[in-house]
Structures are given as structure tokens and as C-alpha cells.
């Protein structure tokens, strides 16, 4: 099937309240344009340089989401245009995003990444660190960022009940924080090609789908 067919097929099955982020990392602009022409306007990339190159070349009504781990010294390259940064996991990074957003006289939406997987390689905060961060004085001084929700990645495993438990854990944290703190969370970013249906059944509002739309990537990210 073509990229457009894959995209329309997935979209036709997604509940209306779910945002689809088309994860286009490693793919050429021509592939992204095919998705764009099929109506897709939200794209996710995991490298700031690559995302910026694509942003320069593509129509300006696209929402660009940074879904990868962000290096502090590269925030400045995307501060002008990025719509949502999914992988924020430290106060230091938030302070840099805030500083760069201020330079462009804008407010940048961010998701805090929560560590839910049973793997050492995945980034993110645990619940205690999350609470510490959002209750800190330094955090409350950041007026050019807005935390609009949480993001998480499940363990890379075939074990569906483990994945489900990890998604449910993230949803529980999401609900707890939303009720207790003075934040207005609207986005819960969880689910990829292999597990997005499960993620939606556990309360996801935003899925990040790459290979099911664009095909397998040549190298693993």
C-alpha cells in the first residue's frame, strides 16, 4: 500500500478525539509530501537538525512535533516553529526552552516524559520527580512554556499485559496530577505502530505512528 493509503486506513480507524502524529524520521521530504497531500498536518521527528531541514522545505501549515530526546544546546534551532516538544524530562531543559521561546516572543507547548518502561535506555521522570519539578519555584517562574500533558513509551516487548500495565500506570499518573495540581493537561502521548490501539484503550489522546504509515526505516532510532 502507498503512504497515502496507509495513512487514510489508520485515520479511518482512529477515534475522533485522537491526534495522529505521523512519525517521519529518516524519511525523505517526498514521502512527507505524500502524507501532506493526503491531508496530514502533524509530523513528528526525533532529530532537531533533520526536522529543521524539513520545516524549511515544506508548507508552513504543518505542526512539527519533536518526539526524540532533546539536547539543550539545540533547542534554539527549533524554537521559532516547533509546535510541541514531547520528550521533556528536566528542569534544565525546560529553562532552556523557556529562554529560547522568549526570544521568539512565544509560548512553547511541552509534554513531560514519564519513565514507564522496564528498560534502562529510555528517558523520563518518575512520579516523584514529576511532582518535584512541577512544584518547584523555578518551574513556576517559566512563563514561556506550557506543560500540556505527559508522554511515555512502553517497553519493547511482545508481552501485551506488560505494555498494558505500563500504559495504565501512565494514565493513572496523568489523572492524579490533573486533579491535584494547577495544570491543565489535555494531551497524553502514548502509543506507536505496534501498540497504539492498546494505548488508546488505556486513555491515550495522541499516538505517534511511523512505520505503519511510511514503512520500515533503514536504520533504527
**Site of interaction with ligand PLP (CB under 6 A):** 23, 25, 46, 67-68, 153, 192-194, 208-212, 221
In the complex with ligand PLP, the residue whose CB is nearer, 96 or 195, is 195
Q: Residue 25 corresponds to which cell in the numbers above?
A: 524520521
Q: How far is the CB of 17 from ligand PLP (least distance, A)?
A: 19
- Least distance to ligand PLP, CB of residue 69, Å: 9
User: For the purposes of burial, counting CB atoms within 10 Å of the CB of 218, is it exposed (0-12), middle (13-18) or buried (19 or more)?
Assistant: exposed
Q: How far is the CB of 202 from ligand PLP (least distance, A)?
A: 16
The residue (of 11 and 107) whose beta carbon lies closer to ligand PLP is 11
Nearest to 90 by CA among 147, 144, 48, 49: 147
Which among 78, 43, 79, 49 is positioned nearest to 64, based on CA atoms? Answer: 43
Smallest gap from Cβ 59 to ligand PLP, in A, equals: 22
DSSP character string of 129-171: HHHHHHHSHHHHT--SEEEEEEEE---SSS-HHHHHHHHHHHH
Q: How far is the CB of 117 from ligand PLP (least distance, A)?
A: 11
Of the two residues 104 and 221, which places its CB atom closer to ligand PLP in the complex? 221
Identify any residues that bridge with 49 across adjacent strands, giving them in sequence order.
Answer: none
Q: Give the three cell numbers for residue 185.
A: 493537561
Rank residues 194 and 203 by Cβ distance to ligand PLP and give the closer one.
194
Nearer to ligand PLP, 25 or 54 (CB): 25
Amino acid at each position: 500500500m502507498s503512504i497515502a493509503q496507509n495513512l487514510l486506513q489508520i485515520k479511518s480507524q482512529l477515534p475522533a478525539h485522537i491526534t495522529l502524529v505521523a512519525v517521519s524520521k529518516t524519511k525523505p521530504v517526498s514521502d512527507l509530501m505524500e502524507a501532506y497531500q493526503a491531508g496530514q498536518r502533524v509530523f513528528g521527528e526525533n532529530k532537531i537538525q533533520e526536522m529543521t531541514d524539513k520545516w524549511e522545505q515544506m508548507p508552513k501549515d504543518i505542526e512539527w512535533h519533536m518526539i526524540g530526546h532533546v539536547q539543550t544546546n539545540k533547542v534554539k534551532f527549533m524554537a521559532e516553529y516547533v509546535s510541541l516538544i514531547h520528550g521533556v524530562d528536566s528542569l534544565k531543559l525546560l529553562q532552556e526552552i523557556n529562554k529560547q521561546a522568549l526570544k521568539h516572543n512565544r509560548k512553547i507547548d511541552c509534554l513531560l516524559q514519564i519513565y514507564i518502561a522496564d528498560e534502562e535506555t529510555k528517558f523520563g521522570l518518575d512520579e516523584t520527580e514529576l511532582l518535584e519539578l512541577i512544584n518547584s519555584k523555578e518551574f513556576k517562574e517559566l512563563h514561556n512554556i506550557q506543560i500540556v500533558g505527559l508522554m511515555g513509551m512502553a517497553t519493547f516487548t511482545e508481552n501485551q499485559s506488560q505494555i498494558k500495565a505500563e500504559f495504565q500506570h501512565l494514565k493513572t499518573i496523568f489523572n492524579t496530577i490533573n486533579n491535584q495540581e494547577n495544570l491543565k493537561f489535555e494531551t497524553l502521548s502514548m502509543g506507536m505502530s505496534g501498540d497504539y490501539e492498546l494505548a488508546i484503550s488505556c486513555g491515550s489522546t495522541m499516538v505517534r505512528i511511523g512505520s505503519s504509515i511510511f514503512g520500515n526505516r533503514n536504520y533504527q532510532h
